[in-house]
Structure 1
Amino acid sequence: MSCSGYWVYILLCENNTYYTGYTNNLEKRYLCHVDGTGSKYTRSFKPVKIAQAWEIHEGKRKAMQVERYIKKLSRSDKDKIITEPKLLDLQVI
């Protein structure tokens, strides 16, 4: 899942919460989260899987904007974009 652009991703954590982030190397970043070196949050609540990820071709700034947008969503809205990823594409990307 690595690419020349950026990824915005949602992880499902062991406590059934979501963690949202962005990176330019999804595989490497996910392994950091699993190893406990990705963030303080995922050090405490290990990720179970990548729930969803979106490739962002417009650069780091756009990836950060999308990440910020997702973080502000309610749990039910996050569930919707995980189930139907194109909903985020229509709203933000």
Structure 2
Amino acid sequence: MGNNQPTEKSVSDTISDAFQPILETPILNIISEIFQPNLEIIPKYSEPPNYNKEVTNVYILKLTDDKYYVGKSNDPSQRYLDHATESGSAWTRKYKPLEIEKVIKNASHFDEDKCVKEYMSLYGIDNVRGGTYSSVRLTNAQKGLLTQEIRGAKDCCFRCGRDNHFADKCYAKTNVHGENLPPKKKIVQSRININELELLSSETSSD
């Protein structure tokens, strides 16, 4: 007769059986399960914007009557022809182009307005157009904002535009362009009689 009694396992066999599922699993998978990060809370990496796609050419046209026009285009020469044949802006139809004074290559689209303000600072707001300020007639609000922005950038007096003082010390009668300024406003302080104020307060509270 065969021996049907179960063989007694050794201690080493018992340990081997207990850890067999772990031993059959690749160790990298085990580590991955334990230290797997929560990918939902990790922001995805995004490439920085390619600013080379956002460049243009800013051109400045010198016009008749000492006027200027600032624009942007990938082909400034063609754009000059458009303005010269009255296919450009209302400003260049009113004041004819004489030449391309300057071309700024590989410029940001924001440089157009920056250049407009720089030329307005040099030649006056009424003599330059382009970018956001392409209308032949600018509103008083637009002119006021441009004036303050230009003077602020140059650390000039907000009232007259000169660079040797600030508005609180300004007593000029004309601005930097020789135009008359309205009288400087004075702050009038009113004296209030305390007794009258107390009487008014009591009458108000009794209603």
TM-score (norm 2): 0.31
Deviations 1:40-88 (A, max 9, x none): 100110110001111116xxxx2x2111101112126xxxxxxxxxxxx
**Which residue is 2:68 aligned to?**
18
**Which residue is 2:81 aligned to?**
31
**Which residue is 1:69 aligned to?**
114
How many residues were matched structurally?
67
Deviations 1:2-23 (A, max 9, x none): xxx6210111001111110100
Separation in 2, partners of 1:32, 1:16: 20
- Residue pair 1:6, 1:25 contacting (<8 A) in 2 also: no
3-state SS of paired residue (1:10): strand
Q: Higher strand fraction: Structure 1 or Structure 2?
A: 1
Separation in 2, partners of 1:42, 1:55: 22
* 5+ long unaligned stretches in structure 1: 77-93
**Which residue is 1:79 aligned to?**
none
Largest Rg, 1 or 2 = 2
TM-score (norm 1): 0.66
Separation in 1, partners of 2:76, 2:100: 10
Identify the structure with bigger relative contact order (alpha carbons < 8 Å, sequence gap 6+). Answer: 1
3-state SS of paired residue (1:28): helix
3-state SS of paired residue (1:15): helix
- Aligned identity (percent) is 33
- Residue pair 1:8, 1:20 contacting (<8 A) in 2 also: yes
* 5+ long unaligned stretches in structure 2: 1-54, 124-207
Separation in 2, partners of 1:19, 1:25: 16
